[in-house]
Structure 1
């Protein structure tokens, strides 16, 4: 698995729009319409739509 990356500003806005705490999540993969996130502590995974803001 690739190493997860920190969120940039527009990604933070997308994550916050989905009612998730920004400081707990990191980006694993990015596609044209989705962000694949992983929780830093619990290792839970979520898929977030980029266009929801």
Structure 2
């Protein structure tokens, strides 16, 4: 997962995404994971995770 130019780590499940958002100083409740203007999903998405 990346925030701006900073690599935060690899998210393997939605809980990882929420934790990375917290670490970046963002409020996970304020981020709409299904909004493409806020999140650029690659190789998956909020409903689909790679193996």
Normalized against structure 2, the TM-score is what?
A: 0.39
Normalized against structure 1, the TM-score is what?
A: 0.38
| Structure that is richer in strand per residue | 1
Tell me: higher relative CO, structure 1 or 2? Use CA pairs within 8 A at least 6 residues apart: 1
